[in-house]
Structure 1
Amino acid sequence: MVIAVNEIAPSDAMFPADEYRDRIGKTRMKMAESNADVLLIDCVEHMVYLFGYAPPAAIYQAVLLPLDGEPVGVVRALDASMFREQSWVRDVVLFADHEDPVAVLSAEVKRRGWSKAQFAIELDSHFLPVRRFMQLQAALPDVSFIDFSQVLWEMRLIKSEREISMMREVSRIADAGMMAAVEAAGEGVSERDCAAALYASVIREGADSMRSALISAGARSDSLHGRLGAHLLRRGDVLHVESIPLYRGYGARLMRSSVIGGPPPDLARAAEIMLAAQEAQFAAMRPGRRASDVDAIVRDSIVEAGLRKTYENFTGYTLGFIGLPKTSDFTRAFLPGSDWLLEEGMVFHMYTYAAGIAFSDTVLITRSGSERLTKTERKLFVR
């Protein structure tokens, strides 16, 4: 079933029409460079970026963008009203739950005369697994498929002014959640109570109803991605909190550690070294700097101070819009071999951990340096 939604303006658009036009124009330039006639978009991040629509991940949905002409949405009928609220796309094919979305999409490709076209697809999309791709190939035997992987991920690295405004807002929410968790902590308090305080705060402040925190305490405080437990805080415990709310899909991240009753001297010293190393790293972050040089500032300082024998993880990675099933974006990451340059408009989660404590912030690359978007005081908190 094909419907026109020309008369319906999206009431919940994330960005104005001119921003979408600019993104579509840049995307079509990349399509032309690849000799693609049509681009198949099914990755959530890029559905949002180009068309404004954030589909649920339950059932396959996609948008077809031709090199010339209007895009075509292939949308679950149950989500039609949400599509109209969010997307500027005017041409929509709806399918019922008993229909196979790939079969519907393939039939629409043939109906529009694209059955022998050059099709760009993102082979790195979580929504195009091998079986689904093989199904597309079987249904469209005369289509030539072109790998469009990483193109839009790279395009999204440089944030627009409107996107930066979103990042500022979600950073504000992350700060509020962090302080709510820290202020809830104390002897006899469950780590779950700290998580509840954070979640309540970020939801009140405007966060999406998604995962908003990673919290662990006591002997598990260095389990940065550990499952939330029911540990009751005791004197000497470390409470690890990572505030990770989303605001309309855009995420900020922020880590702080709190010590119940106060830190021993060695932990206080570790915190001072880690915070100083990060401050030096932030100061070095500016357009044109090589990522490996920025990375080495924290990595080398922590190892040389004896806080860790080895340092295998990133010291930072890309932030922006993130959609399920992904939880992090490593299009750019800070490692010893990272031979890429920082550019104005990039946003990163910069972090370090050692000795059972962790610190991190959301950092924007500006024209002349960097700006810390998360504003929570940089210290080892005592509760």
Structure 2
Amino acid sequence: MPAPGVPAVLSAGNVDAATLIHAQVYQASKTGDYHPLGAVSKDLIDSFGVRMVTAVLAGYGDKLNADPEIYQEFSRVLRAAMDYALAHPEEAFNAVGKEYNIEPGFYDAWFSSYSEFPVLLSKDDMKAIQVLWDKCAELGLLTDVPVVERDRRWQQLRTKMKIAGINAIVLMGNDLWNGMGMINFRYLMQVGSYMGAVGLFPIEGDPVLWIGPEHMGRPYWRTLSEQEWVTDIRDRKGWSVVAAEIRDRKLDRGKIGYAVFSNTLSSAAILEGDKRSLNREFPNCAIVDASHMLTEMRLIKSEVEIDMLREAGRCARIALDAFIENARPGLTERELFSEVLKAQIVAGAEPNLHLFMSSGPVEHPVDEMWHLLHASEQPFAPVGRMLEQGDVVITEYHTKYAGYRCHTEFSAYLGPKAPDQLRRIWDVSVECLEASKEALTAGRSFQEAWRMIRRPAEKAGLDYVELGWHGMGLDSPVFPTVVYPEGRGSPAGNGAGTEDWELQEGMTMGNNIDLHDPSWKRDVGLMLADFMVVRPGRAECLVDVPTELPQVG
């Protein structure tokens, strides 16, 4: 119902109660006919400790950038006028009331009882905005990256294209690596699909997305209602349709780029059939790999992206609490697995089967070999084995929010008291975790960081499967990744050639701490990790994993 009609409906007795705007509250308070049930603004202050931001002054980005001094001066003058009005209320309220035919008493009531108009953004305002964001995210209302972030990315990529002489980039996505084959669509269009897609990103004009078979677009493409980044969405009908669109836009003159998935463990993953189709359709164009442009752009996360990762971290902690609560003798590994996955989804995360798990007895015959140094991937997890007293359970999982992935590793011992050797491994793991928070800071060299992280393990004489970090965001693992010692694993995973490179603020890392003591047991270890944002001074942790080893049973 429109706000002006609410008092009349309330007076007529057609409703029992109603929310009134400030001017209506003022008029109602004068009649004595109404009884206030509550003051929303006061209730919010009591609940969250700050006054909520109910209105903002906003401007268009291009106009702000063109002449920021005008906006700054406007804000200064407006704040000065507000300060004068509050210092001389009788003069100001009478003058404004006379000008706009409003009782001066309303202004007095508004400033003393209803709200305030600070003009300038304060630390409390920032806190209030963050509270609102967090609560909306918890309710599942914020699952998309805002359009202003789209504009930033599109402008940055088009600048790179202009320098490289590329007229258009053809995006090709699929379900490789548990859905990470769609990262470029996530990054440029806020679109994900396990069925794959083809996209056209031109140097000018609107992009086009070809996604899914025709029947998935009936009665409309769901993708249209789930994001605001792209509006030209069509069903896939083969490369001839894509090529025709490129020719119609006269983009087939010069270079055409393509962008596909890759990470530290997989080279650029373009399907041979797709590459042949591009070369066949555009024999006179230079077809070049532009994937690296997007990889470079994703290296440093914006604060908007980090907000999405914080939400993934919130879901990760909820899933971790479910792991700790349900890791009990008598449950099967499958039941524990399902509780952790359920907790992620209920918390607001996208369904994601990057959930590794292994369980088994710490004490077992020496002629048996158990897989308890690192959690197992699918299809080896989960299994139907019943968890038992004396087991250790280790897990690694990624929670995904708006496509952004947060990494967590953790362990639990099923019994009232873990063996001393196992608790020693845990204590050293915690030391490595604390060292990681100090090491993953802006300006520190990669080599200095990995040495800091590994020092507690080396001092204790422990070995590791992984010990370091891997870059992560929409995809994983990506540069920079250092989890292996020199000479082990691929150069992309052991830091070879990057010793003097420096960490930069805004890099986001999945921490990896997977320790064991081969002098005690060669097949039993523990896993512990948080998700970290590189910051000055100390890394920001997004999961806040506990530092006590759960000993349950």
User: What TM-score range do you get, normalising by the shorter chain?
Assistant: 0.7 to 0.9
1:345 matched to 2:506: yes
Deviations 1:80-108 (A, max 9, x none): 6123222432444444xxx3x22221122
- The Cα of 1:22 is off from its aligned counterpart by 0.9
Where 1:189 maps in the other structure, the secondary structure is: coil
Deviation per CA, 1:262-292: give whole Å up to 9, x if none. Answer: 2111111111112112211221221111122
The partner residue of 2:207 within 67, 71, 74 is 71
Q: Which residue pairs with 2:402 in the alignment?
A: 248
Instruction: Tell whether 2:274 aligns with 1:274.
Output: no
Given the superposition, is the C-alpha separation of residues 363 and 13 from structure 1 closer, same or farther in structure 2, using an over 3 Å criterion? closer
Shift of 1:113: 2.0
Counterpart of 1:15 in structure 2 is: 145
Which of the numbers 325, 331, 355 marks the counterpart of 1:189?
331
> Closer, same or farther in 2 for the Cα pair 1:182/1:221, shift >3 Å?
farther
2:292 alignment counterpart = 150
Q: Which residue of 2 aligns with 1:286?
A: 441
Post-superposition Cα deviations, 1:55-74, rounded to whole Å, max 9, x if no partner, equal x2425x22222222332333
Q: Which residue of 1 aligns with 2:162?
A: 32
- For 2:107, the equivalent position in structure 1 comes to none
TM-score, normalised with respect to structure 2? 0.61
- Is 1:217 the counterpart of 2:373? The answer is no
Equivalent-residue separation in structure 2 for 1:102 and 1:247 (angstroms):
32
Q: Which structure has the bigger radius of gyration? A: 2
- SS of alignment partner, residue 63 of structure 1: strand
Are 1:89 and 2:219 matched, yes or no? no
**2:249 equivalent in structure 1:** 112
Work out which of the residue numbers 159, 174, 179 in structure 1 matches 2:321.
Answer: 179
Q: Which amino acid aligns with 2:230?
A: V
The one of 327, 330, 333 equivalent to 2:478 is: 330
SS across alignment from 1:231: coil
Is the CA contact (8 Å cut-off) linking 2:171 and 2:198 kept in structure 1?
A: yes
Residue 336 of structure 1: how far off its partner (Å): 4.0
* 1:91-139, Cα deviation, whole Å (9 max, x unpaired): 44444xxx3x222211222222223331122365666322310121012
SS at match of 1:156: helix
Moved more, 270-279 or 123-132: 123-132
Contact in 2 for aligned 1:40/1:64 (Cα 8 Å): yes
The residue number in structure 1 matching 2:347 is: 205
Identity rate, percent: 24
Most deviating of 195-204 and 83-92? 83-92
Partner amino acid, structure 2, of 1:69:
G
Shift of 1:205: 0.9
- Residues 318 and 135 of structure 1, relative CA distance in 2, 3 Å threshold: same
CA contact (8 A) 1:181 1:197 kept: yes
1:365 maps to which of 517, 521, 534: 534
Equivalent residue number for residue 265 of structure 1 = 420
Give the superposition deviation at 1:305.
2.5
CA-atom RMSD in angstroms:
2.3
* Structure 1: 5+ residue stretches without partners: 1-10, 323-327
In the TM superposition, residue 301 of structure 1 has moved relative to its aligned partner by 3.7
- The letter of the residue matching 2:479 is T
| Counterparts of 1:304 and 1:376, CA distance in 2 | 24
Q: CA separation of 1:252/1:123 partners in 2, compared to 1, >3 Å: closer, same or farther?
A: closer
Amino acid at match of 1:364: V
Bigger shift: 205-214 or 29-38?
205-214
**In structure 2, how many angstroms separate the alpha carbons of the residues matched to 1:343 and 1:237?**
40
> 3-state DSSP class of the match of 1:14?
coil
With normalisation by structure 1, the TM-score equals 0.86
The residue identity in structure 2 corresponding to 1:153 is: T
Note closer, same or farther for the CA distance 1:40–1:18 as it changes in structure 2 (3 Å cut): same
Larger relative contact order (Cα-Cα within 8 Å, sequence gap ≥ 6)? 1
**CA 1:169–1:248 in structure 2 vs 1: closer, same or farther (change >3 Å)?**
same
2:321 partner amino acid: M
How many Å separate the matches in 1 of 2:234 and 2:144? Answer: 22
Alignment partners' CA distance in 1, 2:426 and 2:324: 17
**Is the 8 Å Cα contact of residues 374 and 465 (structure 2) preserved in structure 1?**
no
Q: Partners of 1:157 and 1:361 in 2: how far apart?
A: 19
Distance 2:466 2:528 in 1: 14
* C-alpha distance after superposition, 1:286-334 (max 9, x if no partner): 11111222112233542443222xx564621122123xxxxx2322212
Instruction: Evaluate the alpha carbon distance shift between residue 220 and residue 188 of structure 1 in structure 2; reply closer, same or farther with a 3 A threshold.
Output: farther
Question: Larger strand proportion, structure 1 or 2?
Answer: 1
Q: Which has the higher helix share?
A: 2
Kept after mapping to 1: 8 A contact 2:442/2:502: yes
Q: Aligned equivalents of 2:452 and 2:320: distance in 1?
A: 26
Check conservation: 2:465, 2:514, Cα contact below 8 A.
no
Corresponding position of 2:461: 306
Instruction: Give the residue type in structure 2 aligned to 1:224.
Output: A
Which segments of structure 1 move beyond 6 Å, counting only runs of 4 or more? none
Are the aligned partners of 2:405 and 2:472 in contact in 1 as well (CA < 8 Å)?
A: yes
Residue 530 of structure 2: SS of its match in structure 1? strand
Counterpart Cα distance in 2 of 1:42 and 1:131: 12
Displacement, 1:165?
A: 1.4
